Structure 1
Amino acid sequence: MFISLSQANPDTPENMRNSMRNIVLLMMSLALIACGGSNSDSRNSATSENEAKGIYTGLTDSGKELTAIIRSDGEFYIFIQESDGRRDDLSGLISGTATAAEGNFVSDNALARNFDGGESRAYNVTASYVAADYLTGIITDVSSGRGIGFTVSSRTDNDSDPDLEKLSGEYFSGLYKGVSDTTVESIYVAVQVEVDGSLSGSRVFSRMLSSGFCSFSGTLSPRSGSHLFNVAVSFPDNECLLSAEELNGIAYYDEDVNQLFVAVFNADRSSGLFFSGLKGY
């Protein structure tokens, strides 16, 4: 599997139960397709407010930590972290657009990025949900047909307005992930967010080095009706990996642990900047 979501023994009783659940969810997905519940392009069918919108946290069946963000227009981002890893490091991200109706969440256009390198891969995401409560389902690699189960629960801050004053500060211990086609760079950066929504980032060691780093800048604005921020980022230096790209996406600030998540892509999602960092005081 491209993003290693599971390393479990397939013959254990737990995984046999997970397999049965996956079969049931697969049958549900096929039934939706047969009844016209899924469109060949989920992005085009997500025209109304997505019933599953919100921010969720949970685990895959193999124990990897997930932070799943579903916007009101159906666009979603699933941040993946190792359960025993650093809070400021991401191992991968899955993004796409989904429909959600009558308890069925379906995406057939998701792309997965492994931050160890390599090309993006196509994934399907099928889940059952209770609005503002939970999602449980399968993330399936289209090319191999292999899937992994997951369950995520809704965050209590879903209905609170995003607050630039709370977000503002320095996130000094985060790992920036820059992706351009098959190239990935992973660099420790310090990200500064101002109360006016301006954003800047540079290598942590730039304070000790006179050259050899790429800085980036951007803007954040509260996204109405959610606990999210819209983000636009650019690299002014022409020598940077992402200097030619216009990057747009979302940011989420988890106030419980003072953690900032950022995901911004170019238009075709072939390049992007991804960040997880902890606020310093």
Structure 2
Amino acid sequence: MTANQPKRKYQLPEEEKTPTVNEAQGIYKGITDTGRRLVALALDGGDHAFLYGREGVNEFLLSGTILGNATASQEAFTSTGATSLNFIEQSTSGVSITANYVVGQYLTESIEVPGADSVEITSSYEDDYNSSPYLTASSGNLFDVSVSFAKLDCRLLANQTLTGVAYHDGENFRLYIAAPTEDRQGGLSSVDSMMDTFSIEY
């Protein structure tokens, strides 16, 4: 008699997972229905930073930053756990963002703030995202940054290193930076120009 040979078990190779890419990635500029200027930075991994304020004389006066992580597919952009850092009122609040977009053209956002009226925004895609970088960058003129704070330089963020995103606007000679803390309840937001620097540590 021939002993029964055990059946060999063949394991299929695991299907390779394709990293999720934010279809709405890019740099957008627009204006809110309250008259504020907006620069929206949407990264390929879903993280986003919306910096808003008003134009001064050769400067951008920063009013706040909205930080979060969004999903974007089939022309629908959603960020339900975003944080709004309002520098005018010196407050933080949770907000939700819903938007429609067309890849490489525009992003129209509605920002829901609990207990307040929603903010409507229309913004247009900036070709800077795909153009040749002025600085060493990860995507055009949008690039990663790391900012460290010494104890003597900053009491609120002493001995911390923050990572974030920066956008070099060569046309207007400005550098926008958003580097949040891990919980997105604070961090550094900054707009630098050849004429002035406006930054907030919060």
TM-score range, shorter chain: 0.7 to 0.9
RMSD of Structure 2 on Structure 1 (CA): 1.9
- In the alignment, is residue 230 of structure 1 matched against residue 201 of structure 2? no
* Conserved? CA contact 1:238–1:244, under 8 Å: no
Q: What's the offset of the Cα at 1:116?
A: 2.7
1:92 & 1:117 partners in 2: Cα distance? 9
Q: Deviations over 1:41-98 (max 9, x none)?
A: xxxxxx5110000000011112210000100001111110125676242011111111
- In the alignment, is residue 154 of structure 1 matched against residue 125 of structure 2? yes
Structure 2 stretches of 5 or more lacking a match?
1-18, 196-202
**Residue of 50, 67, 76 corresponding to 1:104:** 76
- In the alignment, is residue 260 of structure 1 matched against residue 175 of structure 2? yes
Structure 1 stretches of 5 or more lacking a match?
1-46, 165-220
Give the 3 Å change call, closer, same or farther, for CA 88–64 of structure 1 in structure 2: closer
Q: Deviations over 1:2-59 (max 9, x none)?
A: xxxxxxxxxxxxxxxxxxxxxxxxxxxxxxxxxxxxxxxxxxxxx5110000000011
* Conserved? CA contact 2:85–2:185, under 8 Å: no
More helix by share: 1
Q: Deviations over 1:120-167 (max 9, x none)?
A: 1000000111011001131110x2152011100001212124332xxx
Q: Which runs of 4+ in 1 moved over 3 A?
A: 83-86
| Correspondence for 1:66 | 38
1:278 & 1:84 partners in 2: Cα distance? 12
- Amino acid paired to 1:154: Y
Query: Please, what TM-score do these two structures have when normalized by structure 1?
Result: 0.58
* Conserved? CA contact 2:134–2:170, under 8 Å: no
Query: Please, what TM-score do these two structures have when normalized by structure 2?
Result: 0.80
2:182 & 2:132 partners in 1: Cα distance? 27
2:132 & 2:82 partners in 1: Cα distance? 28
Share of identical aligned residues, percent? 34
* Conserved? CA contact 1:68–1:79, under 8 Å: yes
1:239 & 1:69 partners in 2: Cα distance? 27
More strand by share: 2
Q: What's the offset of the Cα at 1:277?
A: 1.6
1:247 & 1:114 partners in 2: Cα distance? 19
Q: What's the offset of the Cα at 1:111?
A: 0.4
Greater Rg over alpha carbons, structure: 2
